[in-house]
């Protein structure tokens, strides 16, 4: 692993100025790339942004193996040419692209998944951007180094065949307060359009938590609109709206009230 003893200020000084690399390029092991995207639940509905995309490995995997759309942001001319050629060579130009530029200046709002393989100091520089731009329901997944100031929802470690040790940190993005508003009763008799109208009328932003005998899950809503879902247990996950309906059929659920602050990862 690279040396981690770099402060955010020194990271900028190391680069000299905007427009230069903030960390050395170290290729991500393919096994960890696959695991990062699996843990982040990448799929056809996702837009994966890889910040400092190097040789394009994550962008290629997102598009080719997971059916997602991928965008890499890379500042090095040679790596941009290399990764762009790899995308073209695999016929993935409609689903993957490389932007030549500084990821500190990037517009991350389209992203549903952001992947990082950066030093902690660089992750700390990125944190305000991620908090301000990512929507509830988006996921940040970081290889080997955490995002300082965030609590990971999940940490997975692995030792590869070459003996190298790695860790993956998963951070879901939510915009919520600590206190939830409890809603009483069941929705077994509600038609799906009625459920969606009811949720929209609340104009709430946050994570809806549900537990029941068949499984459990989370639904992320932004101003009353569904922006992401996750189901665990025995429940079969479908699309966002269908999963929402299944979750809301349980008798116990709550919707956090809207927070005036920016999105916070992993703090519920």
What is the pLDDT tens value at each position of the chain, 268 positions in all?
444 444 444 444 444 444 555 567 788 889 999 999 999 999 998 999 999 999 999 999 999 999 999 999 999 999 999 999 999 999 999 999 999 999 999 999 999 999 999 999 999 999 999 988 998 889 999 999 999 999 898 999 999 999 999 999 999 987 543 333 344 444 454 555 666 676 677 666 666 665 554 555 666 667 777 676 665 554 444 444 555 555 555 444 443 333 333 333 433 2
128 part of a folded domain: yes
- Rounded to whole angstroms, how far apart are CA atoms 263 and 43? 23
Structural domain harbouring 36: 8-174
- Residue 112 maps to a domain: yes
Where does a domain end: 174, 194, 218?
A: 174
Do 163 and 136 reside in the same domain of the chain? yes
First to last CA, the chain: 31
Residues 158 and 225 in one domain: no
pTM (2 decimals)?
0.63
Statement to judge: residues 152 and 34 lie in one domain: yes
Same-domain pairing of 18 and 106: yes
How buried is residue 113: exposed, middle or buried, by Cβ count under 10 Å (0-12/13-18/19+)? buried
Beta strands in 8-138 (DSSP E): 47-51, 69-74, 96-100, 113-116
Residue 266 per-residue DSSP state: S
């Amino acid at each position: 692993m690279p040396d981690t003893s770099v402060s955010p200020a020194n990271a900028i000084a190391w680069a000299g100025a905007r427009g230069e690399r903030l960390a050395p390029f170290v290729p991500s092991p393919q096994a960890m790339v696959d695991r990062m995207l699996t843990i982040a639940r990448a799929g056809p509905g996702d837009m994966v942004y890889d910040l400092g995309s190097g040789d394009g490995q994550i962008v290629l995997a997102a598009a080719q193996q997971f059916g997602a759309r991928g965008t890499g942001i890379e500042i090095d001319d040679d790596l941009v040419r290399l990764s762009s050629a790899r995308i073209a060579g695999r016929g993935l130009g409609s689903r993957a692209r490389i932007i030549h530029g500084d990821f500190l200046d990037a517009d991350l709002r389209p992203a549903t998944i952001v992947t990082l393989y950066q030093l902690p100091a660089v992750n700390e520089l990125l944190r305000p951007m991620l908090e301000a731009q990512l929507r509830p329901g988006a996921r940040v997944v970081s290889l080997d180094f955490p995002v300082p100031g965030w609590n990971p929802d999940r940490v997975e470690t692995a030792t590869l065949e070459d003996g190298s040790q790695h860790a993956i940190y998963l951070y879901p993005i939510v915009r919520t307060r600590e206190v939830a508003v409890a809603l009483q009763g069941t929705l077994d008799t509600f038609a799906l359009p009625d459920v969606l109208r009811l949720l929209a009328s609340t104009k709430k932003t946050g994570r809806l938590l549900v537990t029941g005998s068949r499984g459990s899950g989370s639904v992320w809503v932004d101003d009353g609109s569904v922006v992401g879902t996750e189901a665990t247990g025995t429940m079969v996950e479908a699309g966002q709206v269908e999963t929402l309906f299944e979750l809301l059929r349980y008798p116990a659920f709550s919707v956090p009230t809207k927070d005036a602050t920016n999105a916070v990862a992993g703090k519920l």
